[in-house]
Structure 1
């Protein structure tokens, strides 16, 4: 195997202590992350251990990473359900949700209703509850003073790189007048179930004792300044990597940047090597077989495998090029495409990756940005299916296929195995705000060109991920001197969407390695941003992957 690159130190490890050492007031703008401590101190005396309420499956109380017993509250006779209709400036054509932060309770299931619940407790307190879900764009969330509890979910922000943020607007409040309970990897925060599973939320108690829970928020605007919560990198292309921002990866990095307990397998065309025997300079943490890993450029003059791997694991925060999703996990690259000498079959590659992970007691995520062209719902690899069936704790993330423009339902092989197996995720491709020709598109919209390609759809489609994205590039030299390296601006197809989802899956598993492959698929599915028809549908699966919400879900059961 060729050289393994050293692991980068995670600069977020010391964050809780930095927070406690912060000064008392905000000074115009403060960066909570990555390396500048917040400009406020955590107020002492905040206790989230008491139970606030429990309504059906919805609970608020002490961090459920510890065992807590909840008691049902006793309601007075005037307990009531109320539908809270809010004004809006329009409805998102993809989701049916109200735009401009008016999506309160649209996709929330509280005790099997979509109602806004109002309850009177024994203490004659009337805790009005507002649950608000944002869009895939930059949203500004405000707080209604009559609400005892406000729960806010930012859902990724495709506009983040342009300077627009998902903002919690507390501009009428000074930071010194609130109490903070921020979530960290192993401590802090409040557990809440907004209808699609328990998650760890950040919490702020206002000076009127109203509680605000939030996730996926880029910044909080106070009267005395702006507190930035998201993680940014020093890489010059980071702001152009809208794929990271629309998935909320810059928020998920607060908790997880990858772990050496996770091995990521990439089965593709191999990696481009230059004349001096080096891979792209924006790579690290890569291993492979010396007689296999080199891309021979048999199918294309550009290296498909180099582009795919960079989405997952390009070196982040090194001041060079782009940012990969996972900063720390090792990537095992095996060449399975091109039918070249020493290329491995999918079965051989999968067995070797499993053996490598087992030898180091690692969890394994395998990315397959590949498939049998022209297949719609049929499986053409029985041997691979047998391996998938016999290794339920290996997670396979597979491209749904690029023939969706033909109007034939059905996803390609082997992605179709997601219909049957809980450890297989089939990934479709979505646009950001524009397509590769510059035409405006709705963020999250399934990609389909009338004359070109389209993301395949059908039963078993699991999640949507971003495509037409920035990647590293390795191109074959016309002089036969090996590859030359650059960056691609619009790597496309479900081949591009798949490593985005695989990278997020590796962050979620890194946050809680005790989970199973089934758990990871379930978490990603249940926390996804719903697109198309309400709930699961064959065009969007469970929806668009949401890294921040998924990682927060994984943290609930972290020991």
Structure 2
């Protein structure tokens, strides 16, 4: 069964990863295999490390190499919530400084890859913060001096509830120093569980930028799903090597923040070796790396300003303003690090606190399983009609007093009384005439 087929079947699970492999450039630390020819990428035969580095076209196309003259991400920690990073491969040796497992399947330090597509996290990590294998060899990440936390989660047979895993993983990442969280996965639904409200609010309140992949049409995600639909999350779309929205390795949606390369990506796999791959699983860590560069260059900035820098300096591809294919445009690392960008008072991608206040307040708490809801008793005491008071209808109400004033009412009452006396006198006079 190919990895593409396995990913398609994984769409039936609650959460799925959003990257797809093409044939390996190298079968392992010592072996090699020829990759199938692709548009714009020659088929390698026993690809050398130098040819691996030369495939990272985004380093120049997206201003990353230029940004390195200012910063390479030192001092910033990126948490990778994924299948678990193999920190022993050459490009990631020393980069992974901590981790844990929430799947129930991995190692305590989170560095044992889990699941059927267990190479996914290592590929993601290499794009975010790979060190390379030399000055011009091996895969180098966008922020090659940033640190990584490996948080392993698992989906499918034997794993714990995936929604719970994600909520716990986000909270753990915040508590262990992450300033950026990368999530190259999708729930494949627009909505998310309330447990994610709590976890993502915790990240927001602790000044952490969450980056999430949009998903891929090629693996069944036509529309952006959570966590990329959540307010405040930096959702990443995918583009081709020529900078056009990817037809298969991206998804569309109004919550997109920016776009980054998602095709013809080269990544490191567990045990060593390289693969070409497609998917917003790769676009997301490119942007997460840019976030790390901005945070390293501007440590005084809070998360809303960091996100705003990335949005404001992106190259707009569609009509003016954000759109459902590119968000605010294609990320530009050099501009995000160096340009003058005005301060913002709030996250330009929305406020999760406000969303929760508006959208969760009317949601009734679920009744315990097996319980019976008893309706409130209705008062059956009959209502007794009160007799009308003929005097009461003559007395002015407070609104009437406010409307016409006390003096006018006195005059009216006097006229009414005088009229009564006149009528009485006339009746008495007529009575006297009939009897006189």
TM range (shorter): 0.5 to 0.7
Answer 1 or 2: which has greater strand percent.
1
Structure 1 partner of 2:52: 237
Q: Aligned with 1:529: secondary structure?
A: coil
Q: After superposition, what is the alpha-carbon deviation per residue over 1:303-339, rounded to whole angstroms, capped at 9, x for unaligned? A: 0001000001111472441211112221001001335
Deviates more, 1:383-392 or 1:248-257: 383-392
| Contact 1:411-1:456 within 8 A present in 2 as well | yes
Aligned with 2:212 (options 398, 403, 411): 398
d(CA) in 2 for partners of 1:556 and 1:534? 19
State the shift of 1:549 in Å.
0.4
Q: CA deviation at 1:297?
A: 4.6
Q: Report deviation, 1:292.
A: 4.9
Cα drift, residue 245 of structure 1: 1.7
Superposition pairs for residues 4-403 of structure 1, below 5 Å? 237-260=52-75, 262-272=76-86, 279-283=88-92, 284-286=94-96, 287-289=98-100, 290-300=107-117, 303-316=119-132, 318-319=134-135, 320-338=137-155, 345-357=165-177, 364-373=179-188, 375=189, 378-392=190-204, 393-403=207-217
Matched position secondary structure for 1:470 = strand
Whole-Å separation in 1 of the counterparts to 2:219 and 2:320: 23
How far, CA to CA, are the matches of 2:128 and 2:303 in structure 1? 18
Q: Give the aligned length.
A: 282
After TM superposition, give the deviation of residue 288 of structure 1 in Å. 1.9
1:295–1:303: 8 Å Cα contact kept in structure 2?
A: no
Q: Per the alignment, in what secondary structure is the counterpart of residue 78 of structure 2?
A: strand
Give the counterpart of 1:414 among 216, 227, 230. 227
Deviation of the 1:444 alpha carbon: 1.4
Distance 2:221 2:111 in 1: 37
Q: For residue 503 of structure 1, what is the aligned residue in structure 2?
A: 289
Give me the TM-score of the superposition, normalised by structure 2: 0.60
CA distance in 1, matches of 2:266, 2:220: 27
1:218 match: none
Distance 2:133 2:328 in 1: 32
- Cα distance in 1 for partners of 2:259, 2:300 equals 25
CA distance in 2, matches of 1:238, 1:334: 27
| d(CA) in 1 for partners of 2:296, 2:282 | 22
In the alignment, is the contact (CA less than 8 A) between 2:114 and 2:153 conserved in 1?
Answer: no
Measured in 1, the distance between the counterparts of 2:281 and 2:56 equals 17
Structure 1 position 298, deviation (Å): 2.3
Work out the CA distance in 2 between the residues paired with 1:314 and 1:372: 27
CA distance in 2, matches of 1:333, 1:458: 29
Contact persistence 2:192–2:227 (CA under 8 A)? yes
| Structure having the larger proportion of residues in helix | 2
Match of 1:463 among 252, 258, 262: 258
Structure 1 residues not aligned, in runs of 5+ = 1-160, 163-233, 273-277, 358-362, 433-442, 475-483
- Of structures 1 and 2, the one scoring higher in RCO (CA 8 A, sep 6+) is 2
TM-score (norm 1): 0.47
User: Alpha-carbon deviation of 1:454?
Assistant: 4.3
Say which one has the larger Rg.
2
Secondary structure at the aligned position of 2:318 is classed as coil
Q: How far apart are the structure 2 equivalents of 1:380 and 1:508?
A: 29
* Cα distance change, pair 514–356 in 1 and its aligned pair in 2 (3 A): same
Mapped partners of 1:239, 1:296: distance in 2 = 27
CA RMSD of aligned residues (A): 2.7
**From 287, 294, 302, the counterpart of 1:516:** 302
* Cα separation, 2, equivalents of 1:412 and 1:384: 14
Structure 2's unaligned 5+ residue stretches are 1-40, 43-48, 101-106, 344-436
Deviation at 1:491, TM superposition (A): 1.8
CA contact (8 A) 2:249 2:262 kept: no
